[in-house]
Each structure stands twice: as structure tokens, then as C-alpha cells.
Amino acid sequence: MESKNVKEAMTDPAWIESMQEELLQFKTIRIFLAYAAHKSFTVFQMDVKNAFLHGSLKEDVYVCQPEGFIDADNPSHVYKLKKALYGLKQAPRAWSM
């Protein structure tokens, strides 16, 4: 169950663990950058514009037909996603794995 406010989140062990994982990732990146600077390495940064479209989902996710794209023959059909979509709650997790 998700926390409804910050006070609840701060007492939720799952939320605390999740935040610790995020902080560990930042620490790892900082160590890498410090090492690269020490060795005078060149570091490149990139942005993958459609990164979320490459992420595989671990659970089944179904979506309704969006407005304007409704199949006239099957207007009540829902579709199972094969890959993550931008804006999907699971998208960042699917892309980072």
C-alpha cells in the first residue's frame, strides 16, 4: 500500500529501502566521476529520447484504447502492453533494469 503523505512514507520500511537504493546509485555515480576526474578520463553524457519504449514489463499491463484511435469494429477492447510506455507508473523501473 502506498503512503498518503510524507509522515507515513518516513515510517514505511519499503519506502525507506527504496530511498536508500536511490541514494546508493547517486553515491556510485559520484565515485565513478571522481575516479574519472582523477585519471583525466573524458566522460560523455547521453539522453535516450525514447528510453521508456525499450523497457520490458515484469507484470501484465492492460490499457484502454486512447481517444481518437478507437477501433470501430472492437470499441471495448483493451490491449496488453508488450513494452513500457512513457507516463506508465512502471516505465522508469522497466527501463532501468
- CA 37 to chain centroid, in Å, comes to 29
Instruction: Tell which residue, 50, 51, 33, has the closest CA to residue 42.
Output: 33
The letter for the amino acid at 67 is: E
Residue 23: its pLDDT value, please?
A: 85
Residue 31: its pLDDT value, please?
A: 95
Residue 54: its pLDDT value, please?
A: 73
Residue 25: its pLDDT value, please?
A: 84
Q: What residues have CB less than 8 Å from 47, skipping those under 6 apart?
A: none
Q: In terms of pTM, does the model score above 0.85?
A: no
Q: Which helix (H) or strand (E) holds 21?
A: helix 13-38
Residue 70: its pLDDT value, please?
A: 78
Q: Check if the beta carbon of residue 62 is closer than 8 Å to that of residue 78.
A: yes
Report, as ranges of residue numbers, the positions in the chain whose pLDDT lies below 70: 1, 51-52, 95-97
